[in-house]
Chain A
């Protein structure tokens, strides 16, 4: 082979240390993007080894290759269509059976593959001893024992990969054999499929047709509908033999093969004393103690993030605003100067003071909790509550992050499995009052109207989340949500991986959001310079004055608020030409309540819109934005009329 550029894909279950291996292999040469046309993260990296340039693709962590989630679809399409030169299947040695179930499916895709038997240290602690030579023989492919977090076995893994790709090491992968009655029928379908030149291996297609895989059925229907109906008939025959649906029978038999291999290659000595990680698990999921432990951990996380964020944000803001004279010196204080400073620079400052002090720690915490395993315990405890708003336990984390800042909340929705769940969770997140919104509620209504009114608004917000969440849950098409999740053993997160994950995702976000923030800020500054603010306020007055009963100029504050929500109050005061503490002179309590209600419910800020665009594309982002603005105005108007009646 003369080629010196290869592609290797990493595949495996979630929580097997796949991202650690990815980081060990690629170091800082990473690129995080999205799969074409999909909103699933795609991590790529390059490395150089023995004169070769090797591209590493980190496939999503999944348990099967069916059509349950987009991740599973993407993975199988990638392996079958893009045909990487090699797949490294990362297997958690401490949960061998479940992992081998996935390995067998990968092998059915007839792709060149080797296995990294990872977390050997964990397996050893659990009293598991391996015969990895035998595993190698039974699977017909090389198996390399690794401990990714300490870098053990990574070099061997690469070396073996190159040997297999170069063809120096021949592999003879096994095929999982099903029962005779199934094999006969697979054979019949294979003969039909072979003639179609379909891009997937014929045996794989045959198995998937018997399992009733919708995607494969759809594709084969286009080529030859006879195959699908023949497969359906054969599947019914199998169902009649076994008394279970055909897909159940095939899945069971595949698991039997995995179970047999696992039993033959590992020896487990049960442990007498429950280890530390087990005791922590019992404590953190305890019926009574679990909740206070969770509350304390989350509150202290929030508290430290806000203390840190507030301090750093202020520091960054002060020092960046200190640059103003320098800019004025260069660009003058004319129109150009105003646009450069007030448009571009203030936009950047706005982005920096939100992104760095808040988004970094939030991201870090998210990955830390996920890697350590605590995230799944929180999901376990909160599942029931989240079901009330049509979501399940896993959604608690993004929603909780949303109370701090909606941006990491929206980005955190990717821990949900299906697109539907992601969209639902993100929608709920954008309705959650973030720290800046809370500042408006407390600073305006809380300070001037009364704390009980501020609390009432907060309560109304939560009620609206509950109602809209349920409506969205009922109206969005797709299967209902349920929690089915592995709670893998607690472990100490690999810090370097967590930091890299944080960094590369932050960078992705900056690339996406900053242009939007700067353009938005420039447009508004331009309107200001051209004396368009008053006319704009007049144009908005049917909404602001007639429908919402607010002073006309507040429309501008609401528009500005999309850019810098935390500045809404200061802006309001400036526009009304009073000191912030004297707002009560120009706004009635009713004005304040209606204004706050609208500011609370409409789309949080431009950075959140950017996050939505990044995760769901322009169309859905606009849909949510337009809906929430409309809804906020509707609710504001109704509140105005109700308050009028009451007074």
Chain B
């Protein structure tokens, strides 16, 4: 099933389906729906591309960022960004 990365339990892993950044409005005719473009690019540049396995190690308390393990390295991702990463999980 598809879940947000933030909904995964500690230690659980999933395969990235997509990163949704443009709030409403779909793709748009010209690719000018640039809201959040930079941050999606950033996440993808860090290795969080669709089809990649990502494991949530833990999250910092008080709704803090997530510690994830991807492509052999450890990343910290702010919760706001992590909420927009959708992953396929087997439960």
In the complex, the answer to whether A66 meets B30 with C-beta atoms within 8 Å is: no
**Which of A244, A287, A483, A485 is packed against the most chain B CB atoms within 10 Å?**
A483
In the complex, the answer to whether B42 meets A484 with C-beta atoms within 8 Å is: yes
Measured as residues with beta carbon below 8 angstroms from the partner, the interface class of chain A is 35 or more
Given contacts A96-B72, A384-B62, A488-B73, contact A248 B50 (CB under 8 A): yes
Could you give, for residues 8-48 of chain B, a 1 whenever the CB lies within 8 Å of some chain A CB and a 0 otherwise? 00000000001100000001001100101111111111110
In the complex, which residue of chain B has the Cβ closest to the Cβ of A97?
Answer: B71
In the complex, the answer to whether A383 meets B65 with C-beta atoms within 8 Å is: yes
> Which stretch (A30-38, A137-145, A373-381) binds chain B?
A373-381
Measured as residues with beta carbon below 8 angstroms from the partner, the interface class of chain B is 35 or more
Query: Main SS of the interface on chain A?
Result: helix
Measured CB to CB, the closest approach of chain A to B45, in angstroms, equals 4
In the complex, the answer to whether A393 meets B47 with C-beta atoms within 8 Å is: no
In the complex, which residue of chain A has the Cβ closest to the Cβ of B62?
Answer: A384
In the complex, the answer to whether A251 meets B41 with C-beta atoms within 8 Å is: yes
> Which stretch (A231-239, A568-576, A615-623) binds chain B?
A231-239
Bound-state Cα–Cα, A618 to B6, Å: 43
Q: Which residues of B contact A95 (CB under 8 A)?
A: 72-73
Could you give, for residues 456-495 of chain A, a 1 whenever the CB lies within 8 Å of some chain B CB and a 0 otherwise? 0000000000000000000000011011111110000000
Instruction: Kindly state whether residue A136 has any CB partner on chain B within 8 Å.
Output: no
**Which of A67, A68, A214, A245 is packed against the most chain B CB atoms within 10 Å?**
A245
Bound-state Cα–Cα, A479 to B49, Å: 21
How many residue pairs link A and B with beta carbons under 8 A? The number is 133
In the complex, the answer to whether B31 meets A287 with C-beta atoms within 8 Å is: no
In the complex, the answer to whether A482 meets B80 with C-beta atoms within 8 Å is: yes
A residues with CB within 8 A of B: 63-64, 66-68, 95-98, 101, 212, 214, 232, 235-236, 239, 244-248, 251-252, 255, 259, 281, 285, 287-288, 290, 376, 379-381, 383-385, 387, 392-393, 479-480, 482-488
Query: Can you name 12 A-B pairs with beta carbons within 8 Å?
Result: A64-B45, A66-B45, A95-B72, A97-B71, A236-B31, A244-B50, A245-B27, A245-B40, A248-B40, A252-B52, A380-B65, A480-B80
B residues with CB within 8 A of A: 18-19, 27, 30-31, 34, 36-47, 49-52, 58, 60-65, 67, 71-81
Q: Which 3 A-B pairs have the closest CB atoms?
A: A64-B45, A483-B78, A252-B49
In the complex, given contacts A66-B41, A479-B36, what are 16 additional A-B residue pairs having Cβ atoms less than 8 angstroms apart?
A: A67-B38, A68-B41, A98-B47, A98-B71, A101-B47, A248-B40, A251-B49, A285-B58, A287-B60, A376-B76, A380-B67, A383-B65, A387-B78, A479-B38, A482-B80, A485-B76
